[in-house]
Structure 1
Amino acid sequence: MGILSVEEGDPVALENAVARGKVILVCEHASCLLPKSVGSLGLTDEALASHIAWDPGALAVSRLMAESLDATLFYQRFSRLVYDCNRPPDSPAAMPEKSEVFDVPGNAGLDRAAREARTVALYLPFRDKLARLVRERIADGRAPVIVTVHSFTPVYFGRQRAVEIGILHDADPRLADAMLAAAAADGRFDTRRNEPYGPEDGVTHTLKEHGLSNGLANVMIEVRNDLIRDEAGQRVVAGYLTGLLRAGLSATEQ
């Protein structure tokens, strides 16, 4: 039996596939939904609703940005706890045995066959379909811009995080540089480079796999999730990020 049943559908979703804008928004941690085959992974309902299972608010913000930018949105429909699609299969973080202070019993001691089953069911469709979308855009003469959207918890291992928005990059900082310059001019949010995570934490896998490997402009956005708990906050932050992204694209295209 596979990880996903036929009734559970495709592991990835694509919205606004015929978008005229050049941005492809990617949300790897959009959902806290678990496949029925894995049960609860031994976690409580509270843990499964928390940041360890998904990025709260990230999909809502991504949808608002996609609407404003006429961008395509590509996202994972199942929880990062089953497979974190922003990690390669050989990374321990792809199927974490522990996430922050929570042990994940259902991920403890997975054998090679179990890891392979999750990789085939969740990661490979995500990677391959996103790669195909990027190739198609390039072939059409519309080289895309890869923008991944995430949220992070305000308190991590008991420590409060002051940063509100993170603009992250790997080896190509051009778009991030321009967005950070726009953020400095705006001043509404505490916006920082490569915080609360950076490339050294292994969080730029999607950027490397689909952006850097194709020579495409790319950036990763992190939003503190207390800012986007409700629709009003989501709209404010989406508007702010859309403005930064437009300014960044304008500056890098000159």
Structure 2
Amino acid sequence: MGVSPQTGGMARAVAVENAEGTGPFVILCDHASNFFPPPYDESLGVSDTDKSAHIAWDPGALGVAKGLAEQLDAPLVYTTISRLVIDCNREENRTDLIPSMSETTQIAGNCDLSEDEKNFRLDLVHRPFHNAIDKVLDQRKERGVPSAVVSIHSFTPVFKGNSRPWEIGLIYDNDRRLADPVLAGLKERGDLTVGDNEPYAPSDGVYYTIRRHGEDRHLPCLMIEIRNDEVKTAEEEARWTEMLAPILTRAAQSGSANAGGGTDA
């Protein structure tokens, strides 16, 4: 299974590593874990097969995120509870914040929830995750350390019967300071099919974390999606880390990415 809270029960739904890192990036991983703490391990009505599938987490994303945080000396903030309990990459008022249907799988234990239960889950994972990111970014601002925000995700090779040809996709909205140089760096390799706002775009409602902590703070920001059949093993995660780290480093050093990189609203 995926990452689980280290202190038992529900005491630790968010993890922060290398908070004092001085590199130019802050790395985020919204869907890092497929851990279901009690009572959600039984009450959601999710099979063991579904708990290990993409609907429960982003397989391979945390391994790449950890590798990048190490190579780039970046703080890393990630969740330690499955997104089927609550999705930290959704606004609090979204209907899919706590999904009753994920892709084609019904999540029976997420249907007809009370407001008290929704607020409990928000306070359990969602709000602590975003508060932890705010804390890291605020502390870096106080120290005068420039920050660019990057979130790492993975996606399925086939979604609702449609094959996805991209090994990697970059998701961005108005701020292109990282997207443009990273797109160029990936395409220069010549061995990748690179998604430009594929397989998702901000209009799909998947951009909350990056918008809140990147664009709303006027920080360079980017969401990276890697097809999950590319990151099935630790060796494959390391390969993507080695590929992305220098491209991100060059992007951070480019004039466009540096512009305003150390400020926020």
Residue 250 of structure 1 pairs with residue 246 of structure 2: no
Partner of 1:107: 110
| Residue 143 of structure 1, CA deviation | 2.5
Alignment of 1:50-199 (within 5 A): 50-199=53-202
Residue type of the alignment partner of 1:10: R
In structure 2, C-alpha distance between the alignment counterparts of 1:181 and 1:165, rounded to whole Å: 13
| Residue 9 of structure 1, CA deviation | 2.3
Alignment of 1:32-51 (within 5 A): 32-40=34-42, 41-51=44-54
Which of 2, 21, 26 is the matching residue for 2:23? 21
Q: Which piece of structure 1 moves more, 154-163 or 186-195?
A: 186-195
Partner SS, residue 116 of structure 1: helix
| Residue 237 of structure 1, CA deviation | 1.1
In structure 2, C-alpha distance between the alignment counterparts of 1:149 and 1:6, rounded to whole Å: 26
| Residue 6 of structure 1, CA deviation | 6.3
Once the two structures are superposed, what CA deviation does each residue of 1:153-195 show, in whole Å capped at 9, x if it has no partner?
1111122110110111122112101111111212232112111
Residue type of the alignment partner of 1:173: R
Partner SS, residue 47 of structure 1: helix
Once the two structures are superposed, what CA deviation does each residue of 1:106-130 show, in whole Å capped at 9, x if it has no partner?
1011121111111111111111121
Once the two structures are superposed, what CA deviation does each residue of 1:128-154 show, in whole Å capped at 9, x if it has no partner?
121111111111111311100000011
In structure 2, C-alpha distance between the alignment counterparts of 1:133 and 1:70, rounded to whole Å: 14
**Contact 2:9–2:37 (8 Å) recurs in 1:** no
Identical counterparts, % of pairs: 36
| Residue 253 of structure 1, CA deviation | 3.0
Q: Following superposition, which runs of at least 4 residues in structure 1 exceed 4 angstroms of deviation?
A: none
| Residue 243 of structure 1, CA deviation | 2.4
Gaps of 5+ in 1: none
**Contact 2:77–2:132 (8 Å) recurs in 1:** no
Residue type of the alignment partner of 2:13: P
Partner SS, residue 39 of structure 1: helix
In structure 1, C-alpha distance between the alignment counterparts of 2:194 and 2:247, rounded to whole Å: 11
**Contact 1:149–1:222 (8 Å) recurs in 2:** yes
RMSD (CA atoms): 1.5
**Contact 1:17–1:73 (8 Å) recurs in 2:** yes
In structure 1, C-alpha distance between the alignment counterparts of 2:50 and 2:251, rounded to whole Å: 37
In structure 2, C-alpha distance between the alignment counterparts of 1:114 and 1:195, rounded to whole Å: 34
Partner SS, residue 52 of structure 1: helix
In structure 2, C-alpha distance between the alignment counterparts of 1:189 and 1:172, rounded to whole Å: 23
**Contact 1:166–1:193 (8 Å) recurs in 2:** yes
In structure 1, C-alpha distance between the alignment counterparts of 2:201 and 2:78, rounded to whole Å: 21
TM-score scaled by structure 2? 0.91
In structure 1, C-alpha distance between the alignment counterparts of 2:169 and 2:247, rounded to whole Å: 12
TM-score scaled by structure 1? 0.95
Distance 1:184 1:39, change over 3 A: closer
Residue type of the alignment partner of 1:223: I
Number of positions where the alignment pairs a residue of Structure 1 with one of Structure 2: 251
Gaps of 5+ in 2: 260-265
Partner of 1:12: 14
